[in-house]
Each structure stands twice: as C-alpha cells, then as structure tokens.
A and B are shown apart, each in its own frame.
Chain A
Amino acid sequence: MLTAHNLTRRFGDRLAVDDVSFELNPGEIFALLGPNGAGKTTTLRMLVGLIAPTSGSVRVDGEVMTQQSAPALRGRIGFLTETPGLWDNLTVRQNLHTYAELFGLPEPSAAVDSVLDLFEIRDREHDRPARLSKGLRQRVALARCLLHRPSIVLLDEPTAGLDPESAREVRELIVRLRSEGRTVLLCTHNLDEVDRLADRVAVLRSRLIAVGTPEALRGRLFVPRVRVGLTEDAEGYAELLRRAGLREATADGRQLTASLADTPLTTADIVRRLVEAGAGVESVMPEERPLEDVYLELLNREDRP
C-alpha cells in the first residue's frame, strides 16, 4: 500500500504540490489527472523517493520514505518514466539484465527471460533500443519496470505516442496488474483510457481538486439523465413527462432525454408511463457524461472565484 500524507513541494517561490493526500490500495488502479504543470510528475517523483517533499510524507507498506529508507523501498516500486530511458548502446537483454542486477534479483537471467516472454519481445532481445519502434521501446521500458515484480507500479503516460494496438496491449497489461493484486498509479492525459481502467480518479492542480470513483465524480457534478429512443416523434411524450413532474424532459426528433434530478420517478417509472401513453420504446440508455466533461468541469469550478 502506498500513502501520500499532506505532500507539499516548493521549488523556490513556486508551489508545485500543495498538501496532497491519498491512499493507494492493493489491486486498485488509481489515475492521477491534471493539466501540464499541475505537479503530477513531481508527485510521482516524491512517491518513488527521487525527490523529497518540502513537508508531508510518503509511506510504503507503512514504512516512511526517508533518504535512508528510500533505496530499499524503491525495490518495491516499479516506475515507468515519461520517456523510456533505455540505454541505446546496450541490447534489450543487456538493458534488462543490468536492471535485474540493480534490483538485486537472485536469478537475473530468469527474470529477464520471464519479462521478455511476458511482453513478447524475445525475438528482439539482441536488438539495440534505437532500432526498435516507439511501441516496442515502451514495451521494453514496461518490462524493465516490472522486472522485479513490484507490488506498486507508477506509470507516467504509459500509452503516450503508441499506436492503438500497442496502447490496447498496455491497457490489458494494466488490468492484468490489478488482477494480480498490485497497486497501479496511472498518470495520463488520456481521459478515455482513465474512464476504461481507473477504479479511482484524482484531479490535481498543485492541490487535489477531487478524488473519487469516476461514477461518484459524475454524480457529484452532473444530474443523472436517461435517454429513451422512440419509434415516433418524442415532443408529445416529453410534454407528458413534464406534466408528470419531471423538471427537465426534452425531445430531439425521436430521442427523449429526461433528468432524474429532484424527482421521485425512476427510469422504470418513466418507461412505464411512456408505454402506457402508447409510445413505442426502442431503447433506454442512462446518459453517461464522458470523464472529459467531469475533468473540465472540475477545472472550471476551480477557476471560478
């Protein structure tokens, strides 16, 4: 388990991270979102013990990260940096083998073989990273990050610049890490990816603006709505629902959208009333706002005086 407790970091007069606290649980994917310069990378670096917080603390499995404890605690963390950072003069195998030694693994060659197979890069083990595609380089970097089987994995932009197929493979890997009970912290600008993967989301702009599950954040910011597809024009049925007490019911051709805020009516009640009124119902879908809307709304609210 990884805990950030009141983390604050100043660089001279600039406050990069302000009083940030959260707890990452085993088997959880936690996404850290924020605009450029929001302090995401600084937070990651503090979590991995590369830079010290001005105040506050990081705990790994209950143990406080200090200058003395950091080398040992780093052995429990896998950190994928924003750029792959592979040694171009060494082969893929030499890169991984050196890291296996640096992490003090008892059988470095076996560990390297294992990640080469896991990431399906065995056929490129004797290539130099400079000769690999961006996607393959990222795969090697991920292999390096998981070489020592860390219980906590911090991923900074793991799918940035990857083609859709490679990005999907990385996402599948992240899901696999969760199913193995590892803690994953994902730092990304890809909100669709976060929507698909994250159990919890934190929005950072120097300080934490919001933390919660994507559903909870949606519920906090937007009223729930239901979209009903009809076989005929929806205008008359929208009027019917407004008369029944719905504050917001709008029609757009054969689509009817109804707000479930401030009403005792449920989706089932609405559908029943429509059917009783003779409407042909083709589809019923809860309207889910994309995470992007949630994220932008959170930032907008933060900007408002």
Chain B
Amino acid sequence: MRRTRALLGKELADLRQNLTLFVPVLLVAVVSIFIPVFIAIVLPAVTGERLSDSSDFSIAIELYRQQPQTRSLDPEAAIQAYIFQTFLVFLVLVPVTASMSVAAFSVIGEKQSRTLEPLLATPITTLEIITAKVLAALLPSLAISIGCLAAYLLVILLFAHPGVAWILLVPRSLAVIVALAPLAALASLQMAVCVSSRVNDARTAQQVGALVILPITGLFVAQLLGALVLSTQVILLIAAGLALVNAGLTWMAIALFDRETILTRWK
C-alpha cells in the first residue's frame, strides 16, 4: 500500500508538470457540452423555429408525458430535457479520453525516459505498479468528469427552460457519471496500460484505448433511435458488465506487464 501510494504520488506530480496531456480532454468536454446546447438552445434561437414545431421530436414529448415527474413540462422544455438526457452519455467520453491520454504514457513514458529499470529494481510488485498507474490516470479523469457534469448542469440551468436542469438531477444522471463513466474510463485506461506494456509508441496504446469510444457511441445512437431507454437499471446493468470487463483487464494487465519482456525488448 505504501509503495502504491509513493508511486501514485510520483505519477500525480508528473501529471502536474504535463498538463498539456489534458488539452484533448478539454476539447472533448467542450464539444460534449456544446453540441446539445447548440441543438436545444442556440439553433432554435438563431432560426426562430421552436423544437416542438418539428415532428422529429414527437417521441420525446410522448416519452416525457408518460412520466409523472416530467408530465408538467411544456413541449419545448420536454424536448430540451430529452436532448440533454440523450447527450449526457457523451460526458462519459470525457474521462475515457483523459484516462487514455494519461495511461498511454504511463509505461511507455517510463520506457522512453529509461526510468523503468531503476523502478523495477525496487521491492515494488507488478500489482502495485499497475494499481498506482491506473489510479493516477483514473483519479484526475473522475475529477474532470464530475467538473464536466457540474458545467453541463450549470449551462442548462442558465440557458434552458426552467425545470429542465432539475429533470436531469435524477439518479439516472448520477448513475451515468458515478458508475458508467469511471468504469468505462477504467476499461479504457486498462487497455492502454496493457498495450503500453508491449509497444514503444504511445499512439498505439491510445488507439487501442480509444476502442472504448465505440460502445459508448453505440449507446448514444441506440438512445437516439429509441431502441434503448437508458434507465437507471439499464445503466447499472451495463456498469456491472463493465466491472467484469475491468476485472478481466486487471488480470490481463498484470499478465502482460512482464518485467523481463519490457526490459529486454525495449528500444
């Protein structure tokens, strides 16, 4: 535990000196927040057309009329709430991107700067190294995703119809940010750590870590088409599946982090 904490402290200190790693994360965060704001607020304001005038969103009005807590919303507010709910899943991309950026450099950075061999020559175990590296990527990612949720809600509170922000403050939204986002981020960074143990180029690790984006996009599209309603139960079910994936990836990360291979095959 002490060695994990020591290495984690080093990793976080390292990150503070490498804040540029978070530039792509910031971009993803801004885009994830901007797109629904643009569709739900900016576009109707610029064109002067109400969203409720379009038949495209009739599904949203129908959906919200069925639920007692949202029945009182006027059609425009219901559509805004629908758009912001649907795009909420995009916020999961923020910690995923952050984890990927950090984790891809975690092992490869050590290899490239030749700092891994002295580290491996200490009594630290592989599990302790992996734990420290995963936590170092996960903790800032989670902080960023919670910050993003706060910014998302603030923008909705300030610019959307009254009541829309409160509709989003439900267990379902929290489940996305507190359960789905960390577990997806964990899967992404574990994949990046696995790959970075075996390659000498951070970009390769990032590309493999980026695979996690595909199922998240799938969830978004399924919601949009009405094929899937992301209820709290569904989110928790997906989270449970991700937890299993995380456990498998932890085992794989330890198996792939072969000190000998890392030392003898690096360039």
Contacts and interface: CB of A to CB of B under 8 A. Distances in A.
Interface of A: 11, 45, 48, 50-52, 71-72, 74-75, 77, 79, 81, 83, 85-90, 94, 98-99, 101-104, 141, 144
Contacts of A144: 118
A33 B13 CA distance: 39
For the complex of A and B, the 5 pairs showing the least CB-CB separation, nearest first, are A101-B6, A89-B17, A102-B122, A71-B123, A79-B121
Contacts of B13: 89-90, 94
Contacts of B259: 50-51
Interface stretch (B36-44, B67-75, B109-117, B133-141): B109-117
B16 to A, nearest CB: 8
Given A50-B259, A81-B117, 10 more contacts: A50-B120, A51-B260, A74-B123, A87-B115, A89-B13, A89-B17, A101-B5, A101-B9, A102-B123, A102-B124
24 contacts: A50-B117, A50-B120, A51-B260, A74-B121, A75-B122, A75-B123, A77-B121, A79-B118, A81-B117, A81-B118, A85-B117, A85-B119, A87-B113, A88-B113, A89-B13, A89-B14, A90-B13, A94-B10, A98-B9, A101-B2, A101-B9, A102-B7, A102-B123, A104-B2
Secondary structure type dominating chain B contacts:
helix
B6 A102 contact: yes
A45 B263 contact: yes
Contacts of A94: 10, 13
Interface in B8-51: 9-10, 13-14, 16-18
Given A50-B260, A51-B263, A88-B113, A99 B122 contact: yes
B121 A51 contact: no
B17 A102 contact: no
Interface in B117-151: 117-125
B55 interface: no
Contact of B3 (A52, A85, A101): A101
Contacts of B16: 89
B54 interface: no
Given A79-B118, A98-B7, A104 B123 contact: yes
Contacts of B122: 74-75, 99, 102-103
B66 interface: no
Residue of A48, A90, A94, A98 ringed by the most chain B CB atoms within 10 A: A98
Q: Tell me which of B14, B119, B121, B123 has the highest count of chain A C-beta atoms within 10 A of its own C-beta.
A: B121
A81 B264 contact: no
Interface residues of B, number: 29
A48 B121 contact: yes
A114 B165 CA distance: 58
Given A87-B14, A89-B18, A81 B123 contact: no
Contacts of B120: 50
A45 B117 CA distance: 9
Interface in B253-267: 259-260, 263-264
Contacts of B10: 87, 90, 94, 98
A102 B260 contact: no
Contacts of B125: 71
B123 A103 contact: yes
Contacts of B116: 85
A107 to B, nearest CB: 13
B114 A85 contact: yes
Contacts of B263: 45, 50-51
B121 A50 contact: yes
A102 B114 contact: no
Contacts of A77: 121
Contact of A81 (B7, B121, B260): B121
Contact of A85 (B14, B18, B118, B260): B118
A45 B14 CA distance: 27
Nearest to A91: B13
A81 B124 contact: no
Contacts of A52: 260
B136 to A, nearest CB: 13
Contacts of A101: 2-3, 5-6, 9
